[in-house]
Amino acid sequence: MFALGALVLSASMGALSYFTTRHVLVSDSDKADFRLAFENATSVAQHVAATATIVQTLTKVTTPNSHSLLEERGTWYERTFDLTQDDIPVSLRSMVINHSTAASQTYTLHGSPQIAIGIPIKSIHGAYFEVFNVEDLAHTLSVFALGLFVAGIVTTALGAVLGRWASGRSLRPLAGVSRAAVAIAGGELGTRLGSTGGDPDLAALTNSFNRMVDQLQERIEREARFTSDVSHELRSPLTTLAASLGVLEGHVESLDPPARRAVELLSADVRRFQRMVGDLLEISRSDTGSAEISLEEVDPAELVRRAVAAVHRSLPIDTPPPTVEVDPAVSGTHLWVDKRRFERVMSNLLENASLYGGGATAVRVTPGNGSSIRGHSVRVSVEDSGPGLPPTERAKVFERFYRGNAAFQRGAGTGTGLGLALVAEHVRLHGGKVWAEEAEGGGARFTIELPGQPAEPDDELAEGDGAR
């Protein structure tokens, strides 16, 4: 816009200067030429009257850079043969000779600009014409126009540079605001805008932005603390409740059937409640940033085999064990993982496969594409041959308390919807990602990708539809 403004301004100023100057120069030169031609015409009239030969007369009145011609009763006289009457525009000749009016006309002759002036001389029934070459004037004007053109280009370029500099300078604070907003949206709640360099307008923006983020941070932390406090507070009475239930369960044989049924229902719900409180505590720890992760260097194939075996022991007795397939390309790669968290991830995935997909069919260990994760990443996928996940649910299942179609088909009482949210949290803490897709044969496939090097605290690695 600056460049365009400079272009319009310099073009209009240039055009104005050019046309004004041209008008002034041309009219000055016109006047001078006219005066000269008039004097010459008067002189010619006097000489002709004094009977000198006409050509001699013309020789006397010539001025440099001009040609004189005389018409007398239809006969033309020229001083030299450089110019004949045919070189004077017809319209000018007719105006001067036929209408006895003095006139001038600018035109181009043999590629060079001329001004022809015609003055009728009544005393000899003729007309005097003088043709001035105005090439010098035209040259001056074209140099002037070129100068203006170059000045216009330079002004436009300067306008562009100045505009870029000024807009960059004025937008720099906004770019800072935008960067800070992106960082805050990415979870870096400690981000604040820095000093404004004394600009009062910016100071107001910076202050209100920082105040807004303060309030936001305080609110988020308060909510995370609330969940954590509630879970903590619930844990002790729940432990007492579970212990008392344990005592009751020890005497369940002596109870009559309705009371026994009540104890069974109660203990199932208390266990579910305990698990939910445990999951909530774990999630709130990573929300408040107090989650600790103890990484160890492990062999992925070994890790997965052990985790699958451990989890399988806790699953219902009739669940067939999944086959563990390890891609040979993974051998030699090492992962940095927190074993406890990894086991929780595997247990959540295998438990889900068993609950909603008729049991996991395969657990595959393959090399990751490594393009977004440091080092040689490794993928672990858990597949089942159940109904799978509809595409609309694939991202949602990682949300807290989200329970999908499959859960409701099994009856609402079984889970809490926190399992996959925790999986996503554990994987995020490792700097990895997790996503759900359709397995060959229509079942569900949950894949986690873990980095081959320890994660940085602020890694932003989630990508793709449904990846967490």
368 touches which of ligand ATP, Mg ion, none (CB within 5 to 8 A by kind)?
none
Pick one of 61, 418, 448, 450: the residue that binds ligand ATP (CB under 6 A): 418
Which residues lie closer than 8 Å to 103 by C-beta, 6 or more apart? Answer: 92, 95, 96, 117, 118
**For residues 450 and 432, what is the distance between their CA atoms, to the nearest angstrom?**
5
**For residues 64 and 139, what is the distance between their CA atoms, to the nearest angstrom?**
18
**For residues 398 and 382, what is the distance between their CA atoms, to the nearest angstrom?**
15
Least separation, in Å, of the C-beta of 452 and Mg ion?
A: 28
Pick one of 2, 18, 76, 402: the residue that binds ligand ATP (CB under 6 A): 402
Query: Could you tell me which stretch among 75-83, 239-247, 294-302, 414-422 binds ligand ATP (CB under 6 A)?
Result: 414-422
CA 4 to chain centre: 23
**For residues 30 and 34, what is the distance between their CA atoms, to the nearest angstrom?**
6
Query: Could you tell me which stretch among 85-93, 157-165, 220-228, 395-403 binds ligand ATP (CB under 6 A)?
Result: 395-403
Is there binding between residue 417 and ligand ATP (CB under 6 A)? Answer: yes
Q: Residue 363: beta bridge partners? A: 324, 382
Is there binding between residue 322 and Mg ion (CB under 5 A)? Answer: no
Pick one of 37, 406, 424, 461: the residue that binds ligand ATP (CB under 6 A): 406
Structure tokens at 295: 């990484």
Is there binding between residue 361 and Mg ion (CB under 5 A)? Answer: no
Least separation, in Å, of the C-beta of 193 and ligand ATP?
A: 38
CA distances from 140 to 33, 108, 146, 165, 389 (A): 17, 16, 10, 37, 83
> Exposure pattern of 249-276 as b/e (b: 16+ CB <10 Å)?
beeeeeeeeeebeebeeebeebeeebeb
Closer residue to ligand ATP in complex, CB, 209/273: 273
Angle at 329 between CA 323 and CA 331, to 5 degrees: 80
Is there binding between residue 444 and ligand ATP (CB under 6 A)? Answer: yes
Pick one of 403, 426, 428, 468: the residue that binds ligand ATP (CB under 6 A): 403
Q: What DSSP string describes 191-220?
A: ------TT-HHHHHHHHHHHHHHHHHHHHH
Binding characters for ligand ATP, 310-349, by CB under 6 A (x = yes): --------------------------------------x-
353 touches which of ligand ATP, Mg ion, none (CB within 5 to 8 A by kind)?
ligand ATP
Interacting residues with Mg ion between 417 and 436 (CB under 5 A): 419
Closer residue to ligand ATP in complex, CB, 384/449: 384
Which residues lie closer than 8 Å to 71 by C-beta, 6 or more apart? Answer: 77, 85, 93, 97, 126, 127, 129
Query: Could you tell me which stretch among 277-285, 290-298, 413-421, 431-439 binds Mg ion (CB under 5 A)?
Result: 413-421
Give the three-state DSSP class for 302.
Answer: helix
Pick one of 118, 126, 368, 415: the residue that binds ligand ATP (CB under 6 A): 415
**For residues 99 and 119, what is the distance between their CA atoms, to the nearest angstrom?**
11
Pick one of 353, 427, 450, 455: the residue that binds ligand ATP (CB under 6 A): 353
**Residues of this chain that bind ligand ATP (CB under 6 A):** 348, 352-353, 356-357, 384, 386, 389, 397, 402-407, 415-421, 444
Which residues form the interface with Mg ion (CB under 5 A)?
352, 415, 419
